[in-house]
Structure 1
């Protein structure tokens, strides 16, 4: 399958798990596919330090967005300074993506719709209605919704809407 390269393609740095991560992510999202896999060669081994024949990069696409996964080694780790947002139409979608992406991840890194997956990548699982609830009402409504949101790990649309109405 051919991956359509986006103008901007995020590159995710892994330590030997690039292909495993890409396969995991493409199994979760619709309209997703694996692309080309490249391998390290002996050339440059004194610089990259990787075994010839091991996976270097994996192209993949999640719901139409292209990504590259790179096995760059242990030098860099993922942090919450960057995350991938998944905008959900319903609570069922929030529940699905939360369950799929948080499995095997870090439960301590879960707050306000954020989670860290088994590979250390941070995700935000966000209901599309959240912007309307935060910015589409009065200042008091926004404050009530924010107050409710701050108490949650996985976001609960009904609780957020209740906070909006009860403000």
Structure 2
């Protein structure tokens, strides 16, 4: 059992969001879903809470009403191994109203912020040659969606 589980508070679109997220990621599934009864406070039959999993990470979702919204202070960091994976996740998470941000960050249509990042970025930024790492950082700061080849070219001084 996972000890710490991210808890996602939605206004009234938890079921739609969960279905969206499990369609974006290949290894994702709904583990359980609870619906409001006639006792409320949500509409009877609508989702109250649900537990779902993406790539082995468990999430808890709640339709808690409009009291709270997401902001970029908390984001979901996705390690990607290929440019194809970055491109696919980027496009899917931006679908139907998402917004791209700088340095591989995006906000999906539900307001949740994601970082779609190649694992190579961390390796390049940790290089012992700090001049090389600085070139990689400068290249990343000029990118919206991260580009592995562009980061590697920056590391090589190209």
Instruction: Compute the TM-score of the two structures, normalised by the length of structure 2.
Output: 0.93
Superposed displacement of residue 39, structure 1? 1.6
The answer to whether residue 3 in structure 2 is matched with residue 12 in structure 1 is no
Show the counterpart of 1:62. Answer: 54
Gaps of 5+ in 2: none
Of the three residues 109, 122, 128, the one matched with 1:131 is 122
SS in 2 for 1:93: helix
Deviation track 1:104-145 (CA, whole Å, cap 9, x = no partner) reads 2343x5110000001000000000000111112411111111
SS of residue paired to 2:101: strand
Could you tell me how far 1:103 is from its partner in structure 2?
1.4
Task: Please give the per-residue CA displacement for 1:75-105, whole angstroms capped at 9, x wherever unaligned.
Answer: 1000000000110001011101111111123
* Match runs of 1:30-45 below 5 Å: 30-43=26-39, 45=40
Partners of 1:90 and 1:50 lie apart in 2 by 42
Runs (4 or more) in structure 1 with deviation over 6 Å come to: none
Q: Once superposed, what is the RMSD of the aligned Cα atoms?
A: 1.5
- Displacement of 1:27 after TM fit? 1.1
1:74 aligns with 2:70: no
What is the TM-score of this pair, normalised by structure 1? 0.89
Aligned length: 158
Which whole-Å CA distance do the structure 2 matches of 1:118 and 1:138 have between them?
39
Question: Retained in 2: the 8 A contact 1:18–1:57?
Answer: yes
Q: Contact (CA 8 Å) 1:60, 1:68: kept in 2 or not?
A: yes
Structure 1 residue 32 displacement after superposition: 1.1
Q: Which residue, 140, 143, 148 being the options, matches 1:149?
A: 140
Tell me by how many angstroms 1:42 deviates.
4.3
